[in-house]
């Protein structure tokens, strides 16, 4: 069995609250983003882009999320607001994968959106191969227009996922996986 197959068999998500420093440094992050960009891309449209949250950027983004949560939930208790603020403070590096899918004469938007998803998954696999752990999440604020505006997304862009990257403090046990007999059919058989 190749190392790649072993990695894929063992890969699992680690929730952000179980990620700590170190995360990928600038050179490792550049390599991760380069690898993540090597996905199938019909028409070579590059229908995604990256926003990196690290250092002070994480704290600023966390304040944006906390303020949006307070605005949506004026009755929220301080500990609830703090919980939402922490969502972007656990992992040392977070990469937002922004989908730029849009109308095209030849390439369906659905294919462009799938490409952005492939970027997220490829980044997780590459991070694990580099010795890091990660998690691909969206959360409510991925769909909050005020948050998206504050993060610099245009009106036509959407978040495909926030990829949280760091070093695992613990790895959760594996979850139940689908039984292939329940999800595989053979056409014409």
DSSP 77: -
- Say if 77 falls within a structural domain: no
Tokens read off for 104: 């095209």
- Say if 129 falls within a structural domain: yes
Alpha-carbon distance 58 to 96, whole Å?
A: 11
- Say if 43 falls within a structural domain: yes
pTM, two decimals, is 0.94
- Say if 65 falls within a structural domain: no
Contacts of 51 (CB under 8 A, 6+ apart): 95, 96, 98, 151, 152
Q: Three-state SS for 174?
A: coil
CATH code, domain carrying 43: 3.40.109.10
What's the structural domain count of the chain? Answer: 1
Model confidence pLDDT, tens digit, residues 165-189: 999 999 888 888 999 999 999 999 7
Model confidence pLDDT, tens digit, residues 107-128: 999 999 999 999 999 999 999 9
Cis peptide before 73 (omega within 30 of 0): no
Q: Whole domain around residue 149: which residue ranges?
A: 13-55+90-169
Model confidence pLDDT, tens digit, residues 3-32: 889 889 888 999 999 999 999 999 999 999
Q: What is the mean pLDDT of the chain?
A: 96
Contacts of 28 (CB under 8 A, 6+ apart): 130
- Say if 70 falls within a structural domain: no
Give the residue from 112, 113, 99, 96 showing the smallest Cα distance to 157: 99
- Say if 78 falls within a structural domain: no
- Say if 141 falls within a structural domain: yes
- Say if 80 falls within a structural domain: no
């Amino acid at each position: 069995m190749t190392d790649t197959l072993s990695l894929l068999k063992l890969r699992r998500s680690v929730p952000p609250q179980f990620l700590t420093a170190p995360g990928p440094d600038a050179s490792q992050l550049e390599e991760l983003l380069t690898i993540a960009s090597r996905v199938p891309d019909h028409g070579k449209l590059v229908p995604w882009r990256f926003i990196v949250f690290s250092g002070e950027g994480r704290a600023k983004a966390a304040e944006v999320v906390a303020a949006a949560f307070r605005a949506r939930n004026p009755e929220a208790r301080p500990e609830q607001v703090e919980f939402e603020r922490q969502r972007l403070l656990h992992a040392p590096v977070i990469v937002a994968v922004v989908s730029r899918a849009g109308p095209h004469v030849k390439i369906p938007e659905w294919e462009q959106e799938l490409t952005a998803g492939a970027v997220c998954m490829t980044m997780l696999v590459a991070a694990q191969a580099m010795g890091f752990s990660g998690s691909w999440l969206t959360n409510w604020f991925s769909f909050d227009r005020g948050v998206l505006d504050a993060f610099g997304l245009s009106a036509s862009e959407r978040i495909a996922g926030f990829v949280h990257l760091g070093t695992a403090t613990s790895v959760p046990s594996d979850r139940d996986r689908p039984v292939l007999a329940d999800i595989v059919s053979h056409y014409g058989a």
